[in-house]
Structure 1
Amino acid sequence: MMTNEIINKDWLESMASTKKEFLKKLFTVFLRDEPARVVKIREALQGGKMDDLKYLAHSLKGAAATMGADKVRDACLHLEHSALDGDTEQAYKDMLVIEDEMKSVYDFMAEFIQ
């Protein structure tokens, strides 16, 4: 499901209403760890390592889903399929979407934890 929300509104409201400090910690860890994973995804793609690409996309998909980042989750699913199909051209398109959406997620999370 694609929406205009950076972070799923229902998920965010639920977490922020009862577990705001925990949510800030989750966002802090995501901001610390996930940029390196995105770099690894790009490196796997550039190196033509489709098995690594599929694994890394799957891993980021799970992290994004946990954080309510539905657009990133969906883009990672597309990248997983592109890697599975060996479709490098589509994988590069998927990667651009992931990088763009992750920037929005990083910005949102950084603002939220301030």
Structure 2
Amino acid sequence: MNLVLTYRPKMKTNDVINDIWLKSMASTKKEFLKKLFSVFLRDEPNRVHKIRDALQTGEMDKLKFLAHSLKGAAATMGADRVKEACLDLERSALGGNTDQAYKDMLVLEHEMKSVYDFMSEFIK
């Protein structure tokens, strides 16, 4: 099977949460959005921990699966930078590139902290 990875430029936005998505949700569904953010804050740190564990133990298939699943959760929440970081990590895992995966993991953890901080503040 030939797998072709295409180049995708890095995001140019500085928004932790996609501004267009956030405005559309917050304008009519603010309480629902707070609940979504609360669930994300409750559940996703554990998934990030599992991603780190999979990387440290060299379980690249598990790493790829976990990064892919977090990518979907991030996309649902408008966390585009986290989504992109997960995509990079998923690609590194798919290619078996452990060194790059560690670099991608650092980016993911940084972006997740930004999302956690944003969501926590939004909920207040």
Sort the TM-score into its range (normalised by shorter chain).
over 0.9
Question: Which residue does 2:114 correspond to in 1?
Answer: 104
Aligned-partner Cα distance in 1 for 2:19–2:104? 24
Q: Which one has a larger percent helix, Structure 1 or Structure 2?
A: 1
Task: Give the SS at the match of 1:25.
Answer: helix
CA distance, structure 1, for counterparts of residue 38 and residue 99 of structure 2: 33
The alpha-carbon deviation at position 9 of structure 1 amounts to 0.2
Letter in 2 for 1:32: R
1:39-54 equivalences under 5 Å are 39-54=49-64
Percent identical residues: 77
Report Cα offsets for 1:62-111 as digits up to 9, x if no partner.
00000000000001001000000000000000000000000000000000
Query: CA offsets, 1:14-66, max 9 Å, x none?
Result: 00001000000000000000000000000000000000000000000000000
Deviating above 6 A after TM superposition, structure 1's stretches of 4 or more consecutive aligned residues are none
1:15 maps to what in 2? 25
Which of residues 95, 98, 101 in structure 2 aligns to 1:91?
101
Letter in 2 for 1:97: V
Q: Unaligned stretches of 5+ in structure 2?
A: 1-9
- Residue 37 (structure 1) aligns with: 47
Count of residues in correspondence between the two structures? 114
What residue identity is the alignment partner of 1:94?
Answer: D
Matched, 1:113 2:123: yes
Distance, in Å, in 2 between the alignment partners of 1:102 and 1:21 is: 22
Q: Which residue of 2 is the match for residue 26 of structure 1?
A: 36
Taking structure 2 as the reference length, the TM-score comes to 0.91
Distance 1:75 1:98 in 2: 5
Using the size of structure 1 for normalisation, the TM-score is 0.99
Q: Secondary structure at the match of 2:15?
A: coil
Verify: 1:82 aligned to 2:82, yes or no.
Answer: no
Which of 1 and 2 has greater Rg? Answer: 2
